[in-house]
Amino acid sequence: MPEERRRVSWRDRYPDEVTCVRCLQLRDQVDLDRLLWCTRCRALARNRASWMGWLGGALFGGGVALYIWGVIQPTDLVVGGWIATVVAAVWIGSKVARELVYGVMRIRNVHAAEAMPPDTAQEGPTP
């Protein structure tokens, strides 16, 4: 019956079990997103992006701190307010950096990034 025609979606192109491009494990199709990343790999990528984000945030906050102490040179009276500014800079910087890192991971879409081939697992990642 025509009413029962399903909405055509990208999922229709794939069978029920699909290989995740990141870890190369066979996953249920509902676990995969449009880039064929499974839930676990997305979580791993998010986690990694989060660490890189804090690094980026710390660098950004450090830059802001250097600017405040070197250029603005606050008096002791207002130093608390500037510390709050630096903390805010680290926090916002980490969020921005995390989204950037995750976005870059998604765009580059490195295949098999989470996969561990049994024979090369000892050698570590190769460029």
Figure out which of the listed residues 6, 30, 34, 41 binds Zn ion, where binding follows CB under 5 A.
41
Stretch that binds Zn ion, among 32-40, 57-65, 72-80, 93-101 (CB under 5 A): 32-40
Count of C-beta atoms within a 10 Å radius of residue 95: 15
Asked if residue 22 binds Zn ion (CB under 5 A), the reply is: yes
Compute CA distances 117 → 7, 25, 123, whole Å.
38, 11, 10
d(CA 109, CA 22): 8
Q: For Zn ion, give the closer residue by CB, 23 or 52.
A: 23
Asked if residue 18 binds Zn ion (CB under 5 A), the reply is: no
Asked if residue 36 binds Zn ion (CB under 5 A), the reply is: no
d(CA 73, CA 34): 50
Rule CB under 5 A: which residues touch Zn ion? 20, 22-23, 38, 41
